[in-house]
Amino acid sequence: MLSDRDEGRPNVGRRVMYEEEIQLVAEDCDQRTREGSVQGKDLSSDVSSTNEAIRRLDRTSTFLATELAPTKASHVVSPAAVNPASEYVDGRQRAFIVVGINTAFSSRKRRDSVRETWMPQGKKLRQLEQEKGIIIRFVIGHTANTDSNLDRAIDEEDAQYSDFLRLDHVEGYLELSAKTKAYFSKAVAKWDADFYVKVDDDVHVNLGVLGTTLSRYQHKTRVYVGCMKSGPVLSQKDVKYHEPEFWKFGEEGNKYFRHATGQLYVISKDLAEFISDNKLILHKYANEDVSLGAWFIGLDVEQIDDRSFCCGTPPDCEWKAQAGDTCAASFDWTCSGICKSVDRMKDVHQRCGEGEDAVWNAIF
């Protein structure tokens, strides 16, 4: 008999009937075998009956395989069919990559230069989230009083573009390490992504190359990707990138441990969650890229040194693009970003950009 759960379900009744038929055939064979041994019946009759039973079982097995195939297939989801931005995990929107563009109150023109080049706008920005699972936001905190003209200007800009991630963080150059912790913590709470990217607002990015590159690391855990370096620890005061805690790194003239340069780096979800879970006890050094490397120094983390994340501006990135080796990111080392990026971002984009359709056609 069918249970209440089976009523109205296609093929269930027929499936049960065939299962009962299998059982009857099996019992029939067993009975015939017993009778043959006791009564000495003709073996040729038993062989004929057994062959018929086997044929019936074969037909039944074929039927069941045919009937069950659609049910099994309906539970298998092709990765390509998954729409990352349409799924939610623990109330968080699923994503492939979250790109946080570090910016400041004074950087409106820089943000506009990014919007006019490599960052899609309006409907295309939402389309990028829905179709490719890439979320891009400018990341900024607030002023000390939280209601200044600077804060209100960001409110107005966000109302116009809807492309900000606002942090509970007081902005300041010496607070970049704290901002980095706040960014990853907020991003992890809002989006369940495979990767989290931090990039400066004076860096050019090719999203298609970035996505394709990171897709190669999706099967890995605790991944830290960027252009790895080990620069000198600067103990002298009044110099850029001065390290007040230089004494922690040993003798004068020593170098930092290996870490990704701060213009652009990527960490996997488990590392972003680690930062979020331990943000209250993670030590902050003066330089945010050093701080990030320090947070991972005692963990089993795979560092991936990818030089396409730190190409130079033209002619460097242009030559590489012409050779079929398009860069993920480009900037000038001498300026720690694109020198005069407001004026030059369009030129870099035209000469080193991957093309408007690249990210849409990329497979990841």
AA letter at 229? K
**pLDDT tens-digit readout, 293-345:** 999 999 999 999 999 999 999 999 999 999 999 999 999 999 999 999 999 99
- Under DSSP, is residue 192 helix (H, G, I), strand (E, B) or coil? strand
223-256 confidence digits (pLDDT tens): 999 999 998 998 888 888 889 899 888 888 889 9
Q: Count the helices and strands in the chain (H runs, E runs).
A: 12, 10
pLDDT over 90 (residue 73): no
Strands 164-170 and 223-229: unpaired
Q: Which two tokens stand for residue 99?
A: 């790109």
Around Cβ 70, how many Cβ atoms within 10 Å?
10
157 vs 241: CA distance, rounded Å: 31
CA gap 187, 99 in Å, rounded? 9
Tell me if 137 sits within 8 A of 164, measured CB to CB.
yes
Structure tokens given for 96: 């492939």
Q: DSSP assignment, residue 247?
A: G
pLDDT of amino acid 76: 36
Cβ-contact 225, 203 below 8 angstroms: no
User: What are the pLDDT digits (tens) for 18-27?
Assistant: 455 545 444 5
Q: pLDDT confidence of 16, banded at 50, 70, 90? A: very low
Nearest C-alpha neighbor of 107 from the set 137, 150, 145, 159: 150
Pairing of strands 204-205, 191-200: unpaired
Strand partners, 302: 223
- Sorted by sequence, the CB contacts under 8 Å of residue 123 that are 6+ apart come out as none
Taking alpha carbons only, the member of 139, 174, 177, 172 closest to residue 292 is 177
Q: Token pair for residue 190?
A: 């809002």
Confidence check: pLDDT of 206 > 70 = yes
- Please calculate the CA angle 27-30-32 and round it to the nearest 5 degrees: 110
Looking at residue 70, its amino acid is P
* Phi-psi map region of 91: left, alpha, beta (phi>0 left; psi -120 to 50 alpha): left
Work out the angle at residue 56's Cα, subtended by the Cα atoms of residues 54 and 62, and round it to the nearest 5 degrees: 100
105 vs 111: CA distance, rounded Å: 10
Question: Are 310 and 261 spatial neighbours (Cβ–Cβ below 8 Å)?
Answer: yes
pLDDT tens-digit readout, 26-68: 455 455 444 444 444 454 555 455 555 555 555 544 444 444 4
- The 10s digit of each residue's pLDDT in 249-293 is 888 888 999 999 999 999 999 999 999 999 999 999 999 999 999
For 103-181, list the strands marked E by DSSP. Answer: 134-142, 164-170
C-alpha neighbours within 13 Å on the C-beta side of residue 250 = 6
Average pLDDT over residues 2-21: 47
Helix (H, G, I), strand (E, B) or coil at 101: strand
